[in-house]
Structure 1
Amino acid sequence: MARFPFSAIVGQDEMKLALLIAAVDPSIGGVMVFGDRGTGKSTAARALASLLPPIMVMDGCRYGCSPEAPHSCPGPCESNKASKRPVPFVDLPLGATEDRVLGSLDLERALRTGEKTFEPGLLARAHRGFLYIDEINLLEDHLVDLLLDVSASGENVVEREGLSVRHKAKFVLIGSGNPEEGELRPQLLDRFGLSVEVRTPREIENRVEIMRRCASHDADSEAFAAQWAEEDEKVLQQIARGQKKLAKIEVPDGVLVDAAGICSAVGVDGLRGELTLMRAARAFAALKGAKVVKRDHLLHVAPMALRHRLRRDVLDESGSTARIDRAIAEHFR
């Protein structure tokens, strides 16, 4: 069955924008999606991964080596040839062990031949793609710590059982969860680049359209995908143009002052908020085809870059998004 097309997802504009920004600039640090069940969180992430063009990978390489950096893994790569593969999309199940995530000693080979050989884990499979964790708020904290460290450094280091292995693990980390089932620790949530909130659509027209599109996809997924192929191609071209323009986008000092002013006004701790806000605004400007980051770009992405970094105020019952909107209105009036 063909994947549900990214452009066919009804509504959830902020979530889709956050995923596009992360696709343009993976260094932003991943996307956390909190919201109601059945609102298309995993569907959107999978659709974006399947939308992206295939990547070139060295044949037989278990670490996803690029032809631009062949044999850069603990390998060895089995061939000097490369072929196209879909962008990796790896699901991390809640019951996954640390060995399965990071990789471990290949016990079968060790018992058979006496050789100590490393068996790559899920992080190696996700290299140059997406790592998706559903119900991340239920995942053990030490695993979340490890994942965030690896996603920030781009490397996985395993030292155990007499093995010392280091390999590249650059991926876009996407976590989703339902706040009613428990929240992430604030220090872990802060490590995600962007955070979005999704809600069940209230408009009858949108709910009816969702049912229509889901029924069409279930009836003939290939025909439904073909129907939306042109729109998906436009999204793909937008991402490709954004990636090419990203390094050339200018960020004026005035925009940096605005970013610092917003973060100061809402009481963001540390400088990670400003840095992520600046990177997100730059990626958004690249998606829009702009040459310079403007205040409008900054303000548009401010809620998703900052809402999960605010300290709780027991005297203010309004949500994080409302506090950010209020600070923006006061700071720029």
Structure 2
Amino acid sequence: MSKSYGQLVRHRENQSLFTAVELSILAAESSTPLHLHAEGLRGTGKTTILRAARQICGEIVRVSGCLYNCAPEAPHCPEHRHMGQQSLKSLGVEVIPMPFLEISHGAKVATVVGSIDLARLTRQEGPQAALLPGTLAQAHRGVVLVDEINRLVDTNPEIADVLLDVMGTKPGRLQIEEVGLPKVELPLTVTVWAASNPDEDPGPLDSIRRQLADRFDLSVGVKAPSDAQALSQILMLSQRLPGSMLGEGLPTAEERKLWRREPFTKTDGIVIPSAAIELVAKLYIERNIESVRAAEAILIAARMHCAYRGGHGVEKVDIVAGLTLALRHRVRPEVLADIVAEMNSIPLTLAKEQQKALSNVAEQAASPPNFMARLRDVFKSANPHSPGGPHVSQSSAPYHGAYRHVDIPGRVGPVHAGSGLGSVAPPLAARQLVEIPGVEQVKSQGDLLP
């Protein structure tokens, strides 16, 4: 029996992989692929964790019987994408587990991409030339696991080229070509997970196919446990010793129920403050990071991390978590450590402040003030003691430092009793229109009406 995801032992050397896997699943559920690459020496459990994560993947709704996993509201396969809504409705829908398929390093291009459906071609009654979707097409809206991806790239570069197309954009693109059949292009939303041992031939993925390495949004290094207690727990799980708390795996539904605990929130409600986006953009420019995908991956991972911890708006802790996973394979370790330290020292406007601002805007939109209320607001800022008279707002009066009412030789009269303010006499000379900011020149009815 396969090991239960919830009972796998988490320790300091593999915790990042658990976090990355769960963020990637959250992203897949929101139709946003977050590709993940786990690197580590043999026996570190990276592939075990990735395979066990299948138990916590969710479900999808598809057109009944569709091998391409067409979404009922947006069919994309050759058979269903040209059908009307009524015809699709007559086919019905079904709920299935999120697809989770594997590609081995010895896979053939035809099995990965697609080929002629021999069963339909050779049937006695009504033979038909049609395509049989490959692994990638059948994994639409799900996950594909590629074990030993560095060996796959070395021995089968054609499949690596296919992965480049699938992972290059979101959604990706899959092209199926067979002699005698029209070419088929499919939009593909599939999350790619990969594992590799950089210590074995042909070496690390980024030294073999750097372009493909950059396609992975997140990269995690996994090591063997350095704690004896953690290792003891792993051994008990593998041996299933009597009395061990780590026995048989749980059913998939129960496993997912345990994982999807509170305080998870829906990802579509997560707010990314403009301050967070500007911070990531500044990081990208100042650190001269090579790929724009890095900045995109940081923000996607930050959104998922916010949902993961139950937040409602991306904060600095989410940005730091995202960049730690998204930059590992893009910058040197010492540079990444310096970036994390710098991020921790930078103040960032919290998402709750933006939420409050959005809430205020929504309240104003729900009950807009009337014309007279807006008119009063315009003149509410007028200060009778401002230089130039009460009709001049504070913003348009000349700036004389921290306080506007300062001693100007020959212009400031005696201080009014009890007011603490000096009168200005004579008034300041009238200003030309070009000296007045455009926003203060005219207040029309159009400016005041909602």
Query: TM-score interval w.r.t. the shorter chain?
Result: 0.7 to 0.9
Q: Summarize the alignment of residues 65-144 of structure 1 with structure 2, pairs less than 5 Å apart.
A: 65-69=70-74, 72-75=76-79, 80-107=91-118, 109-110=120-121, 115-139=128-152, 140-144=156-160
Return the offset for 1:332: 5.0
Distance 1:59 1:230, change over 3 A: closer
Give the aligned partner of residue 291 of structure 1. Answer: 312
Aligned to 2:299: 278
Letter in 1 for 2:78: P
CA distance 1:28–1:268, change in 2 (3 Å):
farther
Instruction: Render the CA deviation track for 1:178-220: whole Å, top value 9, x for unaligned.
Output: 0112122222111111000001111111111111122229999
Task: For residue 149 of structure 1, report the CA deviation from its aligned partner.
Answer: 1.6
**Residues 163-172 or 274-283, more deviating:** 163-172
Q: Secondary structure at the match of 1:90?
A: strand
> Which residue of the other structure, out of 43, 63, 74, is the alignment partner of 2:68?
63
> Could you tell me whether the CA contact under 8 Å between 1:34 and 1:178 is conserved in 2?
yes
Matches within 5 A, 1:197-208: 197-208=221-232
Preserved contact between residue 7 and residue 228 of structure 1 (Cα < 8 Å): no
Which ranges in structure 2 are unaligned for 5 or more consecutive residues? 81-87, 346-450
Deviations along 1:203-259, one digit per CA (max 9) or x if unpaired, are: 1111111111222299999963349987752422459x44x2x22222222222322
The residue aligned with 1:213 is: 237
Q: CA 1:221/1:227 → structure 2, altered by over 3 Å: closer, same or farther?
A: farther
- Are 1:326 and 2:331 counterparts? no
Q: 1:158 aligns with which of 159, 176, 184?
A: 176
More helix by share: 1
Distance 1:67 1:218 in 2: 49
Higher relative contact order (CA 8 A, sep 6+): 1
Residues 1:115 and 1:209: Cα distance change in structure 2 (over 3 Å): same
Question: Could you tell me how far apart the structure 2 residues matched to 1:206 and 1:75 are?
Answer: 51
CA distance in 2, matches of 1:220, 1:121: 42
Corresponding residue for residue 146 of structure 1: 162
Q: Which has the larger radius of gyration?
A: 2
Matched-pair identity in %: 29
TM-score, normalised to structure 2's length? 0.64
- Counterpart selection for 1:22 from 2, 9, 24: 24
**Are the structure 2 counterparts of residues 122 and 303 from structure 1 closer, same or farther at C-alpha, using a change threshold of 3 Å?**
same
Structure 2 Cα separation of the partners of residues 64 and 85 of structure 1: 9
Aligned residue number for residue 10 of structure 2: 10
C-alpha distance in 2, partners of 1:154/1:332? 34
Shift of 1:163: 2.6
Q: What is the CA distance between 1:75 and its match in structure 2?
A: 3.1
Please state how far the C-alpha of 1:7 moved relative to its aligned partner.
4.9
Q: How many aligned residue pairs are there?
A: 320
SS at match of 1:157: strand
TM-score by length of 1: 0.84
Aligned twin of 1:317 = none
Q: What is the CA-CA distance between 1:309 and the residue it aligns to?
A: 1.8
Equivalent residue of 1:104, what SS? strand
- Shift of the alpha carbon at 1:83? 3.3
Query: Which residue is 1:268 aligned to?
Result: 289
Q: Does the 8 Å CA contact 1:186/1:309 hold for their aligned counterparts?
A: no
- How far the C-alpha of 1:64 sits from its partner, in A, is 1.9
Whether 1:35 aligns to 2:35 is no
Residue 268 (structure 2) aligns with = 247
Offset, 1:109:
4.2
Aligned alpha-carbon RMSD (Å): 3.1
Cα distance 1:288–1:154, how it changes in 2: closer, same or farther (>3 A)? Answer: same
Distance in 1 (CA, whole Å) between partners of 2:3 and 2:64 is 26
Residue in 2 aligned with 1:313?
Answer: none
Q: Which moved more, 1:33-42 or 1:51-60?
A: 51-60
The letter of the residue matching 1:325 is: A
Q: 1:218 to 1:165 in 2, by over 3 A?
A: farther
Secondary structure at the aligned position of 1:94 is classed as coil
Q: Distance in 1 between matches of 2:137 and 2:251?
A: 35
C-alpha deviations, 1:247-286, integer Å up to 9, x for none?
2222222222322343345431132211111111111011
After TM superposition, where is structure 1 displaced by more than 6 Å over at least 4 residues in a row? 217-222, 227-231
Structure 1 residue aligned with 2:410? none
Partner of 1:314: none
From 188, 193, 200, the equivalent of 2:217 is 193
